């Protein structure tokens, strides 16, 4: 159900109502206006039209679509208190819409130049479908995890629209752009184990989708050697996230077995500057 809602929201955001695509950002927090302060729309129920007496009522037979069996509560990654409420579902759809506007002009590094929004949606899908995560804070953080790092979004904006809990997790998932690229990679490895449980879940799903994407199509200007280096680095990050979600970790292990080389020395990344 969650994936269906995400797809519907993404489709409406890109191709139609309730509002058109936003202009390209020129910088600043207000470059892409938010759409969430408008008054709620009240829908009026249309009165049923009476059937003319000379016309017999038409009998309609509806064929029920096949449904996925719900996952038993005992198999969920989260406790029952985190199961979806209507408010949680609305906030998840809102986060999807927010992310789709913020990432509207961004593309992935694959040869096809896939829309960037596919990545956070896929991360959320991995969490809900493979990881059986039902915590709305985790799902919203997954959808928003690159907005501050890669767009003009601010932490204050995340806090205002989605609350302090989501903002806190997004902050854990945001790299410090004042560091060099190698310093950021080293920092992720050395501090992965210190992350909260919510942040660890998103990091695992994020790594899994990136690895699957690289396996499907090598990014532009990447060599096989760089691919191997990325898989080795991802494996070292995941080492600090172990014990968080068995199904996602098992899927990552399959990828590591295919593409990783021998294990790096434990202090390897401490020497990278």
Give me the residue label for tokens 């969650």.
2
Catalytic position from the list 112, 149, 182, 194: 149
How far apart CA 269 and CA 83 sit, in angstroms, is: 39
Cα separations in angstroms, 183 against 6, 146, 190, 273: 34, 18, 10, 6
Neighbours of 205 (CB within 10 A): 28
How far apart CA 164 and CA 161 sit, in angstroms, is: 9
Contact between residue 133 and residue 120 where contact means Cβ atoms under 8 Å apart: no
How far apart CA 259 and CA 207 sit, in angstroms, is: 14
How far apart CA 208 and CA 142 sit, in angstroms, is: 13
- Sign of the alpha-carbon dihedral angle for 146, 152, 155, 157: negative
Cα separations in angstroms, 163 against 29, 200, 273: 18, 19, 35
In a 13 Å sphere around the CA of 245, the CA atoms on its Cβ side amount to: 29
Structure tokens at 24: 């390209």
Residue 149 falls in the annotated catalytic set: yes
Catalytic position from the list 150, 152, 159, 172: 150
Residue 77 falls in the annotated catalytic set: no
Residues with active-site annotation: 149-150
């Amino acid at each position: 159900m969650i994936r269906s809602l995400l797809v519907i929201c993404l489709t409406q955001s890109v191709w139609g109502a309730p509002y058109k695509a936003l202009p390209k950002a020129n910088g600043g927090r207000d470059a892409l206006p938010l759409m969430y302060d408008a008054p709620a729309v009240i829908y009026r129920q249309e009165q049923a039209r009476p059937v003319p007496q000379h016309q017999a009522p038409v009998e309609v037979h509806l064929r029920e679509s096949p449904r996925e069996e719900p996952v038993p509560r005992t198999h969920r990654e989260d406790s029952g208190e985190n199961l979806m409420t209507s408010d949680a579902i609305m906030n998840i759809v809102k986060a999807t819409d927010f992310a789709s506007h913020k990432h509207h002009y961004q593309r992935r590094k694959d040869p096809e130049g896939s829309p960037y929004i596919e990545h956070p949606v896929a991360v959320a899908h991995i969490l809900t479908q493979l990881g059986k995560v039902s915590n709305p804070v985790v799902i919203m953080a997954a959808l928003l995890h690159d907005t501050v790092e890669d767009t003009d979004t601010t932490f204050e904006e995340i806090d205002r629209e989605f609350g302090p809990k989501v903002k806190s997790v997004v902050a854990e998932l945001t790299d410090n752009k004042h560091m060099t690229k190698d310093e950021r990679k080293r920092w992720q490895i050395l501090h992965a184990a210190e992350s909260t449980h919510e942040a660890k879940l998103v990091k695992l799903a994020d790594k899994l989708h990136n690895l699957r994407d690289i396996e499907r199509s090598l990014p532009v200007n990447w060599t096989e050697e760089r691919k191997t280096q990325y898989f080795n680095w991802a494996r070292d990050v995941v080492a600090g996230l172990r014990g968080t979600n068995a199904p996602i970790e098992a899927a990552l292990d399959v990828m590591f077995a295919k593409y990783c080389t021998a294990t790096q020395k434990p202090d390897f990344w401490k020497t990278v500057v």
